[in-house]
Amino acid sequence: MRRCNLIVDSCCDLPVELLNREGVTLLKFPYIVGERTFEDDMFQTLGASDFYDAMRKGAQPSTSQLSVPVLTTAFEAAAEDGTPTVYLSFTSGLSGSFSVAEMVRDQVLSRHEGFELYLVDTRLASIAEGVVVFEAINQMEKGLTAEELAQWASEARYFVDCEFMVDDLDTLQRGGRIPSSVAVAGAALDVKPMLTIDTDGTLKLVGVARGRKKGIKQLAEYYAKHVDFNGRGNYVMVGNTDCEKDMARLCDSLNKGGENPLIIKSSIGPVIGSHVGPGMLAIAFWGSDQRENMSVADRIANRIRKAE
């Protein structure tokens, strides 16, 4: 029996049908094309091909964080319903939305004393965030309390592994998601950059591939080397920004690995897509504890951030 509700956001990039579940509320990030502002409804209104074709022709969509009114409406509705609730948020390493959510939560709880509302910064983005969200829905439906679910998510986020290939780094650099020096180096080498999400929720360049075919092979090999379900769901998320044929090739490679995972395919939404551009391939799955892969410098930096 379900004992809590979930609030999630569109940056998890899960197929919308997986989010249409009782007890799940979806917050839609805004994005701007030209002078028009849209809601990220996961391509239910504007098709993926139309969006990414516009980018290929020179459109430069932008994004913004979740607004105070949107968060207030969602949190107030949860409080009025009375069911303890957990919000799983897009990484604070790439957006200020989590900080806004913390502020709004405090305001709402001041008006609804005793209501249980837990916020978890997943420190993940796109389908990596989707891995946690998908399993959190399963845990919710198994009967975890809101407090138990928040504790579960706070630990589980460190066991999500991911890697993604982009055509180039220009779009990420324009949006301020990576340093310009990294983008320039990637362009000079004429390669396909391979990135991941670091434990602090920011992007990290981890390698390059000389061409898309080699990039697809590297993604499949990365999965085979690092997957470790460890009692969690036997599934892998695969996402793309309007490169369905390449995603099919990647899925074929995953099926040849012998693990026979459930492959959940995703068309990466317009908010994430605005920053990575067309041609991105991504893979996310349960792996080992990512904190164990941190360097000494990373550990010290994390301690400093916590102290602050």
CATH number, residue 120: 3.40.50.10170
Give the residue from 162, 182, 163 showing the smallest Cα distance to 172. Answer: 182
Confidence of residue 300 (pLDDT cuts 50, 70, 90): very low
Q: For residue 214, is it within any domain?
A: yes
The pLDDT assigned to 261 comes to 82
Q: For residue 283, is it within any domain?
A: yes
Which structural domain, as residue segments, surrounds residue 55? 5-157
Q: For residue 307, is it within any domain?
A: no
The pLDDT assigned to 301 comes to 47
CATH number, domain of 184, equals 3.30.1180.10
303 pLDDT higher than 50? no
Contact 163, 206 (CB under 8 A): yes
Same domain? 87 vs 175: no
Same domain? 193 vs 71: no
208 pLDDT higher than 60? yes
Confidence of residue 174 (pLDDT cuts 50, 70, 90): low
CA 152 and chain centroid, separation:
17
Same domain? 175 vs 201: yes
Q: For residue 77, is it within any domain?
A: yes
Same domain? 238 vs 187: yes
Confidence of residue 305 (pLDDT cuts 50, 70, 90): very low
More confident: 142 or 168: 142
- Residue 24's DSSP bridge partners are 6
Contact 124, 155 (CB under 8 A): no
* Residue 297 CB-density burial (10 A; 0-12 exposed, 13-18 middle, 19+ buried): exposed
More confident: 174 or 53: 53
Does pTM top 0.85 for this prediction? yes
Q: For residue 298, is it within any domain?
A: no
64 pLDDT higher than 50? yes
The pLDDT assigned to 308 comes to 44
Per residue, what are the HEC states of the chain? CCCCEEEEEHHHCCCHHHHCCCCEEEECCEEEECCEEEECCCCCCCCHHHHHHHHHCCCCCEECCCCHHHHHHHHHHHHHHCCCEEEEECCCCCCCHHHHHHHHHHHHHHHCCCCCEEEEECCCCHHHHHHHHHHHHHHHHHCCCHHHHHHHHHHHHHHEEEEEECCCCHHHHHCCCCCHHHHHHHHHHCCEEEEEECCCCCEEEEEEECCHHHHHHHHHHHHHHHCCCCCCCCEEEEEECCCHHHHHHHHHHHHCCCCCCEEEEEECCHHHHHHHCCCCEEEEEECCCHHHHCCHHHHHHHHHHHHC
The pLDDT assigned to 116 comes to 98
Same domain? 132 vs 195: no
Which tens digit of pLDDT belongs to each residue from 217-276?
Answer: 999 999 999 998 776 778 999 999 999 999 999 999 998 866 678 999 999 999 999 999
Same domain? 248 vs 218: yes
Q: For residue 107, is it within any domain?
A: yes
Q: For residue 299, is it within any domain?
A: no
Same domain? 272 vs 215: yes
Alpha-carbon span 238 to 255, nearest angstrom: 12
The pLDDT assigned to 224 comes to 92
Residue 2 C-beta-side C-alpha neighbours within 13 Å: 16
The pLDDT assigned to 296 comes to 43
Same domain? 100 vs 225: no
Same domain? 169 vs 117: no
Mean pLDDT of the chain: 89
Strand-strand pairing, 117-121 and 85-89: parallel
Alpha-carbon span 41 to 22, nearest angstrom: 18
**Most confidently predicted of 27-41, 68-82, 160-174, 286-300:** 68-82
The pLDDT assigned to 304 comes to 43
Same domain? 183 vs 285: yes
Alpha-carbon span 205 to 172, nearest angstrom: 12
End residue of a domain, out of 115, 135, 157: 157
Same domain? 130 vs 271: no
* Crossing angle of helices 126-142 and 146-156, rounded to 10°: 150
92 pLDDT higher than 70? yes
- Domains in the chain, number: 2
Q: For residue 142, is it within any domain?
A: yes
Judged by average pLDDT, the poorest of 17-26, 43-52, 186-195, 207-216 is 186-195
CA 36 and chain centroid, separation:
24
